[in-house]
Structure 1
Amino acid sequence: MPNSDLPVASPLVSLSPQVVVPEENPLDGDEVDGVFASMDMDFNTPPSSPPVSFLHSWTISERQRIEDRRRSNLLRGVQLKTRHEKFKKNRQNAEAALERSKRNEALAKKELASFRSKMCKDEAEAKRINKQTLDLEITLIVN
């Protein structure tokens, strides 16, 4: 129902579905509980951009609600974009941390291999020195 304070430039366009009952029933008047059996549903949808006269028929509160909704949608879009950028940056940081971790792991493996190699060399050196010491002791005892 239009607001009585505002002039109405054109009749209101209904956005709700309307039932269209044909004047002549092709089923020869077959009715079920007072409703024609051949009833068709016709959904009147407004065009993608409503005519100016349609926009003028809206009340101030309807226009305000639509404008508020538009602002809310714009704000939500900005929030989602900001959130997307934040997640994107977090992902990049996580990928960089993973790369650093892989480099650190490779470096740690290299250091461990070097340490083991050194330990093996030290062990071999210790065995060699121990063998030389035993050989010297044996030669001293024999002489």
Structure 2
Amino acid sequence: MTASHTARRRSGRPVAVALPALTLALSSALALAACGGDSATDRACAARDDLSTSVQKVITDLRKGNVGDARDQLGDVRAKVSALGDAVGDLSAQERDRLQPQVTDLQDQLKALPDAGSLAELRTAIGRLNTSASTLLSDLGTDLTCS
């Protein structure tokens, strides 16, 4: 058996070729994670996803008639909107100027929710909130190319 046979793995590729390829792949993955994991855009996209999940919980609870659970979830929605506002505040001036008015509108709608006295008023208010949130989430996804 020659030295070239002993330096080969079962796949037939020389170890000397496979090792640098593996090193390059790992280095590339680490570099991508390091530079893309904590940008203002990444934080805004993550906040967008968190808000979407929270709003959907409220909508699901309302559809099931769980008004108490829906009201309980509103605190989480408020926190997620606040976090999204913070993340949008860290974006470039152009992105921030486009998105911040929508975040402010959403915050204003959330403040008005406690004024809903009846189930019908609450559903209407949350329906408007859902529409505004959906528009904002869509705009964020488009403007920031969130996945």
Name the larger-Rg structure. 1
More relative contact order, 1 or 2 (CA 8 Å, 6+ apart): 2
Common topology (TM > 0.5): no
- Greater share of helix: 2
Name the TM-score, length of structure 1 as normaliser: 0.28
Name the TM-score, length of structure 2 as normaliser: 0.28
